[in-house]
Amino acid sequence: MKIIIAFFILFICFVQDSEQLQNLLNTKMHKCIECLCHARTGCYRRVRCANYSISYNYWLTAGLPTLPGDDPNNEQSYKNCMQDENCILNTIVGYTSSFNNLDCNCDGIYDCQDLLKLHLFGDKCGNIMEQFQIDRFNNCARLNDLPRMSTNELCEVEAQ
């Protein structure tokens, strides 16, 4: 009986600690991440983006987003997440949010362009992007009614 009670207590603690995924499908953030992935890979599919740019450490930094029923302490949960559209979106949002809304292009606004640079460069997001990445992002942004990048200048970003 003591084992059952201990298991029940651990289960309740696990359920309370694990965060449910936010539904980001068909939102403005979804459109932003679609453009972010297109700039990174040339493809609009988030699963391909995940394969190219979301490592296990990236996922850890993102806060270990997991699918319902998955154990965040299990590496298989990372693999499962990288096959799920919404979990990938949550991973990218979690990772980019871990930098405290850093203004990567020094324009005074935290927006999709900042998420793109955070995704590509992490806390070194003031770096200059490749022109083909900017072109891909801007083409996608135009199609999704998002602001386009107008400058690619190096700026001094201070981590918060």
Give the total number of structural domains in the chain: 1
Domain membership of residue 82 (yes or no) is yes
Domain membership of residue 1 (yes or no) is no
- 55 pLDDT higher than 90: yes
The share of the chain scoring above pLDDT 90, in percent, equals 63
Report residue 92 as tokens.
Answer: 């990218």
Q: What is the domain extent for residue 78?
A: 21-143
Domain membership of residue 136 (yes or no) is yes
Q: How confident is the model at residue 48 (pLDDT cuts 50, 70, 90)?
A: confident
- 117 vs 152: CA distance, rounded Å: 11
Angle subtended by helix axes 85-97 and 28-41, to nearest 10: 90
Question: pLDDT digit string (tens) for 90-119?
Answer: 999 999 999 999 999 888 899 999 999 999
Domain membership of residue 5 (yes or no) is no
The share of the chain scoring above pLDDT 70, in percent, equals 84
Domain membership of residue 133 (yes or no) is yes
Domain membership of residue 55 (yes or no) is yes
Domain membership of residue 27 (yes or no) is yes
Q: Which of 81, 114, 108 is nearest to 96 (CA)?
A: 114
- The rounded mean pLDDT for the chain is 85
Question: CATH number for the domain including 83?
Answer: 1.10.530
- 159 pLDDT higher than 80: no
Q: Which of 30, 19, 144 is nearest to 86 (CA)?
A: 30
Domain membership of residue 112 (yes or no) is yes
Q: How confident is the model at residue 19 (pLDDT cuts 50, 70, 90)?
A: low
- 133 pLDDT higher than 50: yes
